[in-house]
Amino acid sequence: MHVFELTRALVDIESITDNEAAVAAYLHAHLSALAANSGGRVEMMRVEAARSNVLAYWGQPAVTLSTHMDTVPPFFPSREDAEFIWGRGSCDAKGIIAAMIGAAEKLLAEGVTNFALLFVVGEERNSAGAAVAARSPRGSRFLVNGEPTSNKLALASKGALRFELVARGRMAHSAYPELGESAIEALLDALEKIRRVPLPRDPLLGPCTMNIGVIAGGRAPNVIADQASAEILIRLVGDPALLRESFAAALCLPAVVGMPVANDRLELKEILCIPTMRFAAVDGLPTIVVPFTTDIPMFGRTWGEPLLIGPGDVHVAHTSEERIAKKELLDAVAIYSDMVKRLQSRGAV
């Protein structure tokens, strides 16, 4: 299949996180047909019930091309015009899957083997697929991870620190607020204190940023709220320890030894921490620094020295305007195939 045709076929299979089974089955069948004609092998790497990574390899992999199969909601199908392919996952990351498969076909046509393709589940939530793959390495010396970087090689990526802030109160009739304690008011006060915490800056990665992404709570308009919560995501540029301590201090919570920390009204629970990453450069490739996180920290170095590059503009990922430029897809096929050959010829970046 042409890379454009394959991109659209993948986009048209809904695969919001936790629902990747259909796209994994499609890729397993597609790659099995390719492997049958070229001496490769294809495996389903089970993650949990009805969820599996897909691994294809030829010979003993020295380089692995990898990205994720899952998407964020909501699903919407593909369409195309002269310049772009549109649809959920077109740039994050089903166009990248298609480009990597196109690169594999190009390499095999040139007689090149000793590489792998690894497509994983769960990147958009908790990197569950990468965590499972990290426990089953295959000797690869380099992992080329695909995320939308406009075909520029990332020199660094921000980390992520996610908290849940929970406030507790006491219910009462809203006509008698003095008989209750509002968890919502406690939550709002706590969030305002957190917003005043200074965030660090890194010379390469830029500023640390924070997003209060979800707020929930209360029972009814005429009931004093006894519970409320907020989910907070910080894009890290360095060591998270200072932020943990600063947030706890701002909320007058105990000194942070481990999470969660709490008093009788508030609880701060750490949900996820992904470290910042710095990557090596490759001669001849333009570079970029990206503020998002990837599967790479979960892989560690179990699949080799990590590199990060892919077609697509991250600014349209996760939006209703998600699309990928056809030219970037074609360029990515050449970039990935060239990287495999160049990395195979060396022992380290």
Catalytic residue positions, numbered: 123
Provide the pairing of β-strand 115-120 with 63-68.
parallel
Q: What is the rounded CA–CA span in Å between residue 96 and residue 33?
A: 20
Task: Name the 3-class secondary structure at 128.
Answer: helix
Chain-centroid distance, C-alpha 76: 20
In this structure, how many other beta carbons lie within 10 angstroms of the beta carbon of residue 200?
A: 14
The residue with tokens 């793959």 is 133
CA distances from 33 to 38, 40, 65 (A): 9, 10, 19
Buried b (16+ CB within 10 A) or exposed e, 87-121: bbbbbbbbbbbbbbbbbbbbbbeeebbbbbbbbbb
Q: Where are the beta strands (DSSP E) in 209-304?
A: 209-217, 227-236, 261-262, 266-274, 277-278, 287-290
φ, ψ dihedrals at 282, nearest 5°: -125, 130
Q: What is the rounded CA–CA span in Å between residue 333 and residue 311?
A: 9
Provide the pairing of β-strand 227-236 with 261-262.
unpaired
Helical spans, DSSP H, in the chain: 3-11, 21-36, 95-109, 128-134, 183-195, 241-250, 296-299, 326-344
CB of 233 within 8 A of CB of 209?
no
DSSP track, 27-94: HHHHHHHHHHTTT-EEEEEEEETTEEEEEEEESS-SEEEEEE--BPSPP---EE-SSEEESTTIIIII
Nearest to 163 by CA among 194, 130, 128: 194
